[in-house]
Amino acid sequence: MKILAIESSCDETACAVVEDGRRILSDIIASQVDEHQLYGGVVPEIASRRHCENISGVCEEALEKAGVSLDEIDAIAVTYAPGLIGALLVGVNFAKGMAVAAGKPLIPVHHVKGHIAACYLTYPELKPPFLALTASGGHSQITLVNDYTSFTTLGRTIDDAAGEAFDKAARSMNFPYPGGVFIDKAAQNGNPHLYKLPRPHTEGEFDFSFSGLKTSVINLVHNAHQKGEEIDTASLAASFQFTVAEILSDKLMLAACRYKVGAVVIAGGVAANSGLRAAVTEKANERDIKVFLPPISLCGDNGAMIGAQAFYEFQAGNVANSELNAYATLSM
């Protein structure tokens, strides 16, 4: 089954053709990051406009690269929640138009479920049940994937997402937006134990809190500036990355042991972080838990992950009609 999948929940206009939920035939991404960088974050109105301009060309390119015509596509999938509402609506309406015009089924996909499904594209042996840690610019959560379309959220951030904390901390260190990847690079040359940063407590055992940690980095930088003191940026980046990776990997392992799950997956933009990948791999190996890391190219937002999850949604009968709406927030 060939699915054409569209993703437009934030600042990437993406479209992919995926076969049977496991094989990428094409995966096209038009990133708007250069433009949003000028403003230090995603400007929703600009994101929506760029999606409108790009979506048609991106979909055409995805079909062309896959070497298939729209006739040969079996279904159209689209991210319908959560995300920036104006951005989501562009993808949803484009997908609806395409599905109606071509007479194809329409499959709505939850963005976070898509992130988790990214690993299906790399690991043929990966099958539920497993535990997933999703950490991106908008989400941080630990989810029990009972089956391809059955999820139990065990914990989530009570304030900032991990990626948001990375980006705000990076900004205080004068890195461009989105700063996660710059912290990652700078951290390679730093001492992760030079700065002692707080690990905020949460009531929920598997919940996260990153707001206090983020603020402590920002305050540390401001105070140093005021006193005319030098900051060791590489070591601050390394200390911050180390702390976030410890928080995320410790809770993931705690949940894996509590629920006796033999496999863990990490997903979302922050899953590209080298410190997090190393921490999760090391701790899982110590506990004889299998680890599945998505390739860096599938960590950030893309259409292929939506096509992967869509295959299983379709099999479970989750299809929509032309009344499908988009939602800025929606639980799994």
Residues that bind Zn ion (CB under 5 A): 136, 301
Please say whether the dihedral angle defined by the alpha carbons of residues 94, 100, 102 and 108, taken in this order, is positive or negative.
positive
Q: Name which of 99 and 170 has its Cβ closer to ligand KG4.
A: 170
Q: How many angstroms separate the CA atoms of 1 and 319, rounded? A: 15
Task: Note whether 10 binds ligand KG4 by CB under 6 A.
Answer: yes
What track of x and - describes contact with ligand KG4 for positions 246 through 285 (by CB under 6 A)? ----------------------xxx-xx------------
Q: How many angstroms separate the CA atoms of 29 and 54, rounded? A: 10
Residue 71: CB atoms within 10 A of its CB come to 8
**Contacted by 160, from ligand KG4, Zn ion, none: CB < 5 to 8 Å by type:** none
Q: Name which of 47 and 197 has its Cβ closer to Zn ion.
A: 47
Task: Note whether 136 binds ligand KG4 by CB under 6 A.
Answer: yes
Q: Name which of 99 and 273 has its Cβ closer to ligand KG4.
A: 273
Task: Note whether 306 binds ligand KG4 by CB under 6 A.
Answer: no
Q: Are strands 106-110 and 130-135 parallel, antiparallel or unpaired?
A: unpaired
Task: Note whether 27 binds ligand KG4 by CB under 6 A.
Answer: no
- The minimum distance between CB 10 and ligand KG4, in angstroms, equals 5
Here the tokens at position 76 are 């159209």
| Residue type, position 72, single letter | E
- The minimum distance between CB 313 and ligand KG4, in angstroms, equals 19
Check: CB of residue 121 under 8 Å from CB of residue 298: yes
Burial bucket for residue 213 (CB in 10 Å: 0-12, 13-18, 19+): buried
Helices 274-286, 180-187: axis angle to 10 degrees equals 70
Member of 148, 166, 175, 208 binding ligand KG4 (CB under 6 A)? 166
Q: Please, which residues bridge with residue 18 across strands?
A: 3, 24
Task: Note whether 137 binds ligand KG4 by CB under 6 A.
Answer: yes
Q: How many angstroms separate the CA atoms of 271 and 265, rounded? A: 9
The set of residues, in sequence order, having a beta carbon less than 8 Å from that of 322 and lying 6+ positions away, is 96, 99, 100, 106
Task: Note whether 190 binds ligand KG4 by CB under 6 A.
Answer: no
- The minimum distance between CB 161 and ligand KG4, in angstroms, equals 7
**CA-wise closest residue to 194 among 249, 226, 229, 241:** 241
Among the listed ranges 22-30, 163-171, 223-231, 284-292, the one in contact with ligand KG4 (CB under 6 A) is 163-171
Check: CB of residue 293 under 8 Å from CB of residue 130: no
Q: Name which of 41 and 129 has its Cβ closer to ligand KG4.
A: 41
Task: Note whether 178 binds ligand KG4 by CB under 6 A.
Answer: yes
Total of chain residues touching ligand KG4, rule CB under 6 A: 19
**Contacted by 180, from ligand KG4, Zn ion, none: CB < 5 to 8 Å by type:** ligand KG4
**Contacted by 5, from Zn ion, ligand KG4, none: CB < 5 to 8 Å by type:** none
Residues within the interface to ligand KG4 (CB under 6 A): 10, 136-138, 163, 166-167, 178-181, 184, 268-270, 272-273, 300-301
